[in-house]
Amino acid sequence: MDFPTAIDLADRFGLALYRGRLMSTATLITPAQARLLQNRTDWEQVTVRVYRGDRFDLNRMTYNGWPARPLR
Could you tell me the pLDDT band of residue 67, with boundaries at 50, 70 and 90?
confident
Does residue 72 surpass a pLDDT of 70?
Answer: no
Residue type, 8: D
Please state, in angstroms and rounded to a whole number, the distance separating the CA atoms of residues 22 and 61.
28
Average confidence score pLDDT of the chain: 91
Task: Count the neighbouring beta carbons within 10 Å of the beta carbon of residue 34.
Answer: 21
pLDDT digit string (tens) for 36-62? 999 998 899 999 999 999 999 989 889
Would you state the pLDDT for residue 66? 82
Exposed e or buried b per residue across 16-30, where buried means at least 16 C-beta atoms within 10 angstroms of its C-beta: ebbbeeeeeeeeebe
- 12: enclosing H helix or E strand: helix 3-13
In the chain, where the domains are located: 3-50
* Residues 48/10, Cβ–Cβ less than 8 Å: yes
